[in-house]
Amino acid sequence: MDQQSSNTGAEAPKNSKRSVLDKYLGQKTFLRNILVLLGGSAPSQLLSIGAMPFITRLFPASELGILGVIMTFVGLASTSTQLRLELAIVNSENDSEAKRLLKLCFFLSLPLVFLAALVYFVFNQMELFGFGEPPGISLAFVLILLITSSLQMNTNYLLIRHENFKAISLQNLVGTSLRFITQIGLGFLIPTWIGLAVGEVMSRAFGGIYQFRVAVKKHGLQVGLNEILGARRSFSELIKKYHEFPLFSMPATFLDTFLVMIPIPFITSLYGADSAGFYVLVNRVILAPTSLIGGAIRDAFHGRLARYSRDNPSALKSFFLKNTALLSVIGVFPLVTLVLFAPELFEIVFGEKWRGAGEIAQRLAPLGFLQFVVTPLSRVVFVLNQQKQKLIYNLGASGLLLGVFYYSFSQNLPFMKFIEYMTYTSSFALIVYFVALLVIVFSEKAKRSS
């Protein structure tokens, strides 16, 4: 017994030292993951900003508006083509289960992609909700974009699980380069939405194929027809185990995307494709690059938060607060710049006819800041299985936005007044959401401690 006590005492300092070292290395690795992702996203952002002055001079605003309507449908439909079970890949208990989940996602995606394309065909032909603006041939682009987006999303979460952010970073950089090189090149030949859509297809096709190859070569993924059919017996068990993802995460994520993207077809139907084109430019130049930076932190945050939830729950609270501070500091400079100088900057960079887009950016700047901070942090609800609460929030926020749409339509509000009201209501909803995330994290810490 004395010998056992002696051994225990001898080992304690060593374990304590290892605990401190692991904590330090864990933070260092997390920051390195962010830097790796930013290494791919920062050049992508510079390329996006550098390419847009050429695109705005090659393509009319109305063509950007039409592309925006197409990408809105693709974005909304992509939230459902795997029933959001791809999110469970990061949380799964072991690599074997993660790969079976990925096979399940592939099994589900093909029929759901074709179902989504059928819905687009109906909306387009019946000219519902602004989706009648693109020509009928846009159906082919929607189908291809849905297939490539599905492949990219499925493999992306496997790479996040393994914290292979170098591959994700490279995919971002090369995919963005392909998009804008293709769009600018075709802008001289086909200055319509078709040239823009081909660039989107090239980017997503590369992303999906590259990430799939990485998953096969580096992470041992085997996804042939025989492997998928052989894993079918476990599919019902996986769906039952992770049923909260299709029941709550899928509608919640759909509503998340709805809140961000649905203004585009609404603006198209109420104010015209030119106004929608201004709004699309703002999203591309301001919100999209901001999303890339936030996306780098989001992916690293998701992977590390899942690890802390499994191995070190006591670190959840401080990890959440540190990332809140980091995101806030990064987001302040763009916020101030846009509020003070957006119209002048847009006129100088994109041309005199795009000053109106700068006025939109000026009004949307507070909302963009809140989206930049809150969106990466919202991965908490997936890791801590709080999908029900997120769905409740999204229903409320969507109700507010639809209320703004209805009021703008019934009162025939000017376009800029609509933008202002949308900013007020959506910003209020995001502040409430952030408070809810704080409650979830603090409640989880208290629960784990007890």
Please report the pLDDT score of residue 3 as a whole number: 43
CA–CA dist 245, 241 (Å, integer): 10
CA–CA dist 358, 289 (Å, integer): 16
Please report the pLDDT score of residue 36 as a whole number: 66
CB 176 within 8 A of CB 284: no
Q: What tens digit of pLDDT does each residue of 193-204 get?
A: 999 999 999 999
CA-based end-to-end distance of the chain = 31
Q: 288-311 vs 138-161: helix axis angle to the nearest 10? A: 40
* Mean predicted lDDT score pLDDT of the chain: 85
Residue 154 has pLDDT above 60, yes or no: yes
Please report the pLDDT score of residue 385 as a whole number: 77
| Separation in Å, CA 142 to CA 76, 116, 200, 336, 420 | 12, 9, 10, 37, 31
Q: What tens digit of pLDDT does each residue of 320-352 get?
A: 998 899 889 988 998 999 999 999 999 999 988
CA–CA dist 125, 120 (Å, integer): 8
CA–CA dist 437, 320 (Å, integer): 9
Please report the pLDDT score of residue 73 as a whole number: 96
Global pTM value: 0.78
| Separation in Å, CA 384 to CA 244, 296, 307, 378, 445 | 11, 20, 11, 11, 11
Categorize the per-residue pLDDT at 236 as very low, low, confident or very high, splitting at 50, 70 and 90: confident
Q: What tens digit of pLDDT does each residue of 173-190 get?
A: 899 899 999 999 999 999
Please report the pLDDT score of residue 447 as a whole number: 56
CB 371 within 8 A of CB 263: no
Q: For the chain, give every domain's residue range.
A: 18-449
Please report the pLDDT score of residue 421 as a whole number: 95
User: For 36-45, 83-92, 205-214, 323-332, which range has the lowest pLDDT when averaged over its residues?
Assistant: 36-45
CA–CA dist 427, 340 (Å, integer): 19
